[in-house]
Amino acid sequence: MSHSVSNYLTRLSVVVCGVALLCASQSAFAGVVSTIRSGSVGGISINASGVVANPSIQDQKNLSASLLKAMKQVPGGLNAPTSMRKVSLKGLEAAIQHAMDNNQGVLPDEVKYLAGLQRIEYVFVYPEQNDIVLAGPGEGWTVDKKGNVVGITTGRPVLQLEDLVVALRTVDNARSGQGITCSIDPTAEGRQRLKAYLNTVKQFHPSVKYNVEQAMGQQKISLTGVPEDSHFARVLIAADYRMKRIAMNLDKSPVRKIPSYINMLPSARAVTNMSPRWWLACNYEPLARSADGMAWQIRGQGVKAMTEDELITEDGQVQQTGKTSGIAQKWADKMTDNYDELSGKDKVFGDLRNIMDMCVVAALIKKEGLDRKAGLELPLIEGQTSALKFEGYPAPKSVGTQCSMVKKGKEWIITASGGVDINSWEIAGNSTELVSMQPLRKENNAPEGSTWWWN
């Protein structure tokens, strides 16, 4: 046959988000914090039926305008960029309580956006003040054209209170065998229908793309460990979805050094039941700690891409092989090596790294008993039955299969793709003692008369 059709069933994970195909698939009430909730958030759109898609340009403009209209002017002291903005968890809890007691639960922007923190690099414990302090780079914030809340000079996403709340409340889930995961998976029936259809294709024609999408059908979204209607879950799914679309060449990569996977393939291959799977996972160096365990540093890039080949069986099931293909590994390495630049260009990848930072901090606090050592209680932030709740987004349920096609010589490759795995307890259990950590705790203590944050 002069034109062969090759399908690559590919899976991308962020913290173990499952299989996908290289076809991509200001008011308050009753203690619920109300904010602007839109179907288009985090680089994806989710409709009322839970179907995930790319947001329209107009939806992004509308979201950006709404957020900007609701946003208050950033207090002067928070505007200036700093490499060490400190946030007191004890003070944060008190600020939330104050809003619930005096402002009908409407949280100030500085509370919602954690004083403009853009990463958590240090954790300091102060038993004498019954406090734990988070520190890292921070600055004032604004809203970009796509509706992301970002730093005013760096354009990088700021940390959000509701994600920190989920990280702390689900810390035991992260330790369990199930873990915190997301996945976008073709159904076994969809894989079988696709295989049966491809067996009938003798020559390429324009209807092949449409028929492949119809045969595969809707791909199922699965989440474990976190509330499915949370912003946290939204980030996991969005990062997985965006990674697949870049790999499949459905969306142009914003980073020149990260090409699409299919454009890296030297030629079309015969139809195969072997396919690469990718996922995004934690990527940290051993944590640095002081001799007394009261000062910690979170070190490393934060996120890496990983890959493994999978076997698609006759009945459409997936089996792990423990092996990797060369080109799939090269693509994962390019994603890892250029992740910092990517996270600045495509904000959802920055949001994902922020979430991973928060999960590692939550695991560190619980594993080392830092809250117990500090004598710190956070009933509003950590309490499972706390009055502090956030309005939910539409829960993601499915993604319609979309195909990408590229011609290699005389042959066509049709691709169909999908994950995320946050192994925060493993990261928290790997540390090394550094003499330089000991003085940092004292140097970064709250100055006299400070509020719940300081520079």
Do 57 and 45 contact (CB within 8 A), yes or no? no
Q: Measured between alpha carbons, how far is 109 from 106 in angstroms, rounded to an integer? A: 9
Residues 93 and 338: beta-carbon distance below 8 Å: no
* pLDDT number for residue 319: 55
Pair of tokens at residue 129: 């003040």
Q: What is the pLDDT along the chain (455 residues), one digit of tens a residue?
A: 333 333 322 222 222 222 233 333 333 333 455 444 444 444 555 665 556 666 677 777 777 777 777 778 898 889 999 999 999 999 999 999 999 999 888 899 999 999 999 999 999 999 999 999 999 999 999 999 888 999 999 999 999 999 999 999 999 988 887 788 888 878 888 888 887 887 888 777 778 888 888 888 888 888 889 999 999 998 999 898 888 889 888 889 999 999 988 888 776 543 344 467 788 889 999 999 999 999 999 999 999 998 876 545 455 455 555 667 788 899 999 999 999 999 999 999 999 999 999 999 999 999 999 999 999 999 999 998 889 999 888 888 888 887 776 666 655 555 544 478 888 999 999 999 999 999 999 999 998 878 999 99
Structure tokens given for 358: 């928060």
- Who contacts 366 (Cβ-Cβ below 8 Å, separation ≥6)? 171, 172
Q: Which residues pair with 417 in a beta bridge?
A: 10, 21
CA separation for the pair 124, 399 (Å, rounded): 42
Three-class secondary structure of residue 348 per DSSP: helix
Specify the pLDDT at position 114: 98
Q: What is the pTM of this model?
A: 0.84
Number of H-type helices and E-type strands within the chain? 17, 26
DSSP character at residue 114: G
CA dihedral 374, 377, 380, 386 (to 10 degrees): 140
pLDDT of residue 5: 33
- Degrees, nearest 5: CA angle 367-283-46: 95
Domain ranges (residues) in the chain:
5-57+177-439
d(CA 194, CA 217): 9
Q: What is residue 12's predicted lDDT score, i.e. its pLDDT?
A: 23
| Spatial distance between the Cα atoms of 225 and 17, rounded to a whole number of angstroms | 12
